[in-house]
Amino acid sequence: MATSSTFVVFDLEFTTWPDALEQDWGGPGRLRELVQIGALRLDEEYRVVEEFETLVRPVVNPRLSAYFTGLTGITQEAVDREGRPPAQALGDFLGFCAGRSVLSYGNDMVVLGENVGWARARGEEVANGFLDAHFMTLRPWLNSVAPATTSVNSGRLWQALGLPVPCAGREHSALFDCYSIVAAIRHLRATGTPLPTGWL
């Protein structure tokens, strides 16, 4: 169990194609390779104390699909210029999470695990690991206490709850989606909704 007074909210953007969701990324070579990691470290009052954001260069599918770029706004040029090797980006992110509860909206920890596994299978060293953090999904809790969020992704939580735009940016940008998640948590805590036992 994480004991730090801060916790982390994170979101991932990963390679995708028009039919990938329906096929559960089951097509040949269609892996959920990370392209962007965004995370916010928050204190016990839900104030942001540190940001983490990085682009990642996919290995199996180094050329981004037009669908992915249209969805996220992340261009091939940006990834070629600023993208980091997966093992390096993953190690830094896991270090950012060490000793803390780490929350996502959905199955992001599964995608994270897939990418760590692929990097290690290629013989790359990933600094830090999962055992030093406590990963959880907040989606079941959030959907149950705020049913309006059931059909939306992380980047639209603020909208589903009738909140102001949480920051500059756009949906399907990892850091924007993190701020959207945090806005939802703050709103629900302000209205007296208790957090699930063991979160923080």
Model pLDDT for residues 37-69, shown as the tens digit of each residue: 999 999 988 999 999 999 999 999 999 999 999
- The residue-averaged pLDDT of 10-38 equals 89
d(CA 56, CA 31): 14
pLDDT value for 200: 64
- The residue-averaged pLDDT of 142-155 equals 95
Alpha helices in 63-104 (DSSP H): 66-72, 76-82, 86-97
CATH class, domain 7-190, is alpha beta
* Polymer length of the chain: 200
Structure tokens at 40: 């916010």
Q: Give which of 1, 38, 2 is closest to 180, Cα–Cα.
A: 38
Structure tokens at 148: 């309006």
86 neighbors 117 (Cβ within 8 angstroms): no
> Which residues 6+ apart lie within 8 Å of 72 measured at CB?
13, 35, 36, 172, 173
d(CA 196, CA 77): 42
- The residue-averaged pLDDT of 160-170 equals 95
